[in-house]
Amino acid sequence: MRLNTGRRQFLTGLVLATSLAACSAIEGRETAGQYVDDTTITTKVKAAIVNDEGLKGMQINVETMDGVVQLSGFVDNSTQAAQAANDARSVTGVKSVRNSIVVRKT
């Protein structure tokens, strides 16, 4: 009977360890709901940038993860880079903005 108890404890420990390892493998990934929220934020930020007359024709990329918006691409001056960040911040659901936009040198 002791052998069975020992095996049971071992198997229980193994199951728990496996479960914890599986959780850590997906740590940092978004749930389906977060993905939909982030996609909505990305779409709204892109629309705000496209509708901004001062940013027409600029090459600005938008990505969102957990409400954090990452802006990248190229603009003609620092005012445009700042305006793109302001447009992103104005969107509901945006927690913060990382502005990696590069100003082209002329």
The answer to whether 87 and 48 are in contact (CB under 8 A) is yes
Q: Quick one: residue 33, left, alpha or beta (phi over 0 = left, psi -120 to 50 = alpha)? A: alpha
Angle of the 32-50 helix axis to the 78-89 helix axis, nearest 10 = 140
Per-residue pLDDT of the chain (106 residues; tens, 9 = 90+): 455 776 777 667 666 666 655 554 445 566 777 777 999 999 999 999 999 999 987 899 999 999 999 999 999 999 999 999 999 999 999 999 999 999 988 7
User: Which ranges of 26-55 would DSSP assign to H, the alpha helix?
Assistant: 32-50
Q: Is residue 35 located within the same domain as residue 22?
A: no
Q: Is residue 86 located within the same domain as residue 37?
A: yes
Query: If DSSP codes are grouped into helix, strand and coil, which group holds residue 101?
Result: strand
> In terms of residue numbers, what domain contains 72?
31-103
Q: Within its chain, how far is the Cα of 99 from the centroid?
A: 13
pLDDT at res. 12:
72
- Structural domain count, the chain: 2
Q: Is residue 43 located within the same domain as residue 86?
A: yes
Q: Is residue 14 located within the same domain as residue 37?
A: no
Q: Is residue 98 located within the same domain as residue 67?
A: yes
Q: Is residue 82 located within the same domain as residue 99?
A: yes
Q: Is residue 39 located within the same domain as residue 78?
A: yes
The answer to whether 45 and 88 are in contact (CB under 8 A) is yes
Q: What is the CATH number of the domain that holds 89?
A: 3.30.1340.30
pLDDT at res. 7:
72
Q: Is residue 3 located within the same domain as residue 43?
A: no
**Spatial CB neighbours of 9, under 8 Å, sequence gap ≥ 6:** none
d(CA 28, CA 48): 28
Q: Is residue 39 located within the same domain as residue 86?
A: yes
Q: Is the pTM of this model over 0.85?
A: no
Q: Is residue 46 located within the same domain as residue 88?
A: yes
